[in-house]
Amino acid sequence: METAYLEEVNPWEAQLARADLAAKKLGLDEGLWKILREPAHELIVHVPVQMDDRTLESFTGFRVQHSIIRGPSKGGIRYSPNLTLDETRALASWMTWKCAVVDIPFGGAAGGVICDPDRMSKGEIERLTRRYTAELIEVLGPEKDIPGPDVNTNEQIMAWIMDTYSMHVRYTVTAVVTGKPLGLGGSQGRNEATGRGLMIVCDEALRRLSMKRDQTRVIIQGFGNVGSNAARLMHRQGYRIVGVSKSTGGLYNNNGIDIGDLLEYYHRSETFRGFSGAEEVDPAELLFMDCDILIPAAAENQITSRNAERLKARILCEGANGPTTAEADSILAGKRVFIIPDILANSGGVTVSYFEWVQDRQGYFWRETVVNDELERFVRTSFDAVMDYAESRNVDNRIAAYMLAIARVAYTLRLRGIYA
Ligand code: NAD
């Protein structure tokens, strides 16, 4: 791959391209921006794990705390064979901006381990998780840094993190991690929160564009936590879900897919193959098929300078972190695509993680309707704030979200006594 493209698809560079532009448009003091843009702490660990065949393996893991200015850092743990430090840095910085956009008192972090969980047993994943947590023990804590789930990690892994941390400090600390099972200090509504947040921002976009749910065709890339919950909730509210995909296959039906039927089929057979309610399509092509809303909810760099021209959607609602490169932004602007940027669109997850942390610290747990109502209030308010910023500063939605976030973090830094 040529250097320019490699730089385009480096998530840290993609993040910086937008953040630097937003800081410039804000007229931020150069020194202040130097402080805000770089991660505060970066930790690399090499984690020894005994494998089932009794051989020893060493896995490399990261934890990047991008910012602790507005509160403890918060961010997901990703298990992936392709994880890099730059990707982790990008994820950590997106969390800083996301928490500021939804105005919750967290900074941003991210972490993960280079590993392929599809090729590991449950026991191996547990030993890896516990040892990785032990390596991070000094930097984690409810007042310091709070992990949560991300790609290839789930509530069981969060439970192991909570248990390992608690064993080290010698008492039960539920608030050290979010996305836990309900019986272990988890929150009602957390599992579907990111998908629910996506639906809320889509509802808001429809209102602005005078569109109706039942006439809105939606394609969702990725059928994991984010994608499958968005599909289920949006289908239930009357959206027409015409396409879904996972890495191994895609489905399309212009009349709409019955997501209830698909979920039932998928849970039974663990594949899309053979589902009678839609046609099988190449998952790579699904992004460019006819629809009104496209929700990439899988991975970074799906929409780049090489394919953005082919997008047909009117609205791009970013469920994944960093699905669109900075170069693709300008192409999409030319096509007048209404973008709901990742740091706003997928903020529902961290918002309910915040509620989980609050409930753990209160020792008092909320009903699901309370969680969902509060989530809606936070996400709607943030959506309006970003749109107001875009209109009043005459910038696109993404740069508006970055500007709003950076301005909030800079404001806090000034309050804390760094004057610039
Ligand atoms: P997950 O591991 O549960 O699911 C990922 C899904 O994407 C799987 O269905 C996988 O098959 C699919 N996929 C991967 N590559 C694909 C491809 N090329 N084409 C089609 N499908 C593909 O992960 P998740 O938690 O749903 O996270 C997805 C994205 O959302 C990530 O970018 C993550 O950072 C972001 N995110 C997650 C949360 C959360 O609460 N889980 C919150 C905010 C953002």
Beta bridge partners of 294: 219, 316
> Which residues, including other chains, have CB under 8 Å from residue 38's CB and lie 6 or more apart?
none
**Residue position matching structure tokens 């599909």:** 231
295 in Cβ contact with 314 (< 8 Å)? no
Beta bridge partners of 41: 65
Q: In this structure, which residue's CA is closest to atom 23 in ligand 1?
A: 151
Does the Cβ of 226 fall within 6 Å of ligand 1?
yes
- pLDDT score, position 418: 78
- pLDDT score, position 393: 96
Cα–Cα distance measured from residue 108 to residue 97, given in angstroms and rounded to the nearest whole number: 7
Distance 299 CA to ligand 1 centre (A): 6
256 in Cβ contact with 242 (< 8 Å)? yes
Phi-psi label, residue 237: left if phi above 0, alpha if psi -120 to 50, beta otherwise: alpha
- pLDDT score, position 420: 61
User: Ligand 1 atom closest to Cα of 91?
Assistant: 34
Distance 203 CA to ligand 1 centre (A): 22
Does the Cβ of 297 fall within 6 Å of ligand 1?
yes
306 in Cβ contact with 279 (< 8 Å)? no
> Which residues, including other chains, have CB under 8 Å from residue 299's CB and lie 6 or more apart?
151, 222, 320, 323
pTM assigned to the model: 0.97
Does the Cβ of 351 fall within 6 Å of ligand 1?
no
Does the Cβ of 132 fall within 6 Å of ligand 1?
no
Helices (H), 27-72: 30-37
Question: Which pairing describes strands 240-246 and 73-80: parallel, antiparallel, or unpaired?
Answer: unpaired
Distance 216 CA to ligand 1 centre (A): 23
Mutate which of 91, 97, 146, 151 for ligand 1? The one with the most ligand atoms within 8 Å of its CB, which is 151
What are φ and ψ of residue 255, in 5° steps? -85, -5
Three-state SS string over 128-193 comes to HHHHHHHHCCCCCECCCEEEEECCCCCHHHHHHHHHHHHHHHCCCCHHHCCCCCHHHCCCCCCCCH
Mutate which of 98, 156, 225 for ligand 1? The one with the most ligand atoms within 8 Å of its CB, which is 225
- pLDDT score, position 363: 97
Distance 223 CA to ligand 1 centre (A): 7
Cα–Cα distance measured from residue 246 to residue 224, given in angstroms and rounded to the nearest whole number: 8
Q: In this structure, which residue's CA is closest to atom 4 in ligand 1?
A: 224
Q: In this structure, which residue's CA is closest to atom 36 in ligand 1?
A: 320
157 in Cβ contact with 117 (< 8 Å)? no
End-to-end Cα spacing for the chain: 41
Cα–Cα distance measured from residue 259 to residue 267, given in angstroms and rounded to the nearest whole number: 12
Question: Per-residue pLDDT for the chain (420 aa), expressed as one digit of tens each?
Answer: 789 999 999 999 999 999 999 999 999 999 999 999 999 999 999 999 999 999 999 999 999 999 999 999 999 999 999 999 999 999 999 999 999 999 999 999 999 999 999 999 999 999 999 999 999 999 999 999 999 999 999 999 999 999 999 999 999 999 999 999 999 999 999 999 999 999 999 999 999 999 999 999 999 999 999 999 999 999 999 999 999 999 999 999 999 999 999 999 999 999 999 999 999 999 999 999 999 999 999 999 999 999 999 999 999 999 999 999 999 999 999 999 999 999 999 999 999 999 999 999 999 999 999 999 999 999 999 999 999 999 999 999 999 999 999 999 999 999 999 766
- pLDDT score, position 419: 67
Q: In this structure, which residue's CA is closest to atom 17 in ligand 1?
A: 247
Segment (H or E) for 334: helix 326-334
384 in Cβ contact with 392 (< 8 Å)? no
Does the Cβ of 257 fall within 6 Å of ligand 1?
no
Residue type (1 letter), 256: G
User: Ligand 1 atom closest to Cα of 246?
Assistant: 21
Does the Cβ of 94 fall within 6 Å of ligand 1?
no
Q: In this structure, which residue's CA is closest to atom 40 in ligand 1?
A: 349
Count of alpha carbons within 13 angstroms of residue 177, beta-carbon side: 34
- pLDDT score, position 78: 98
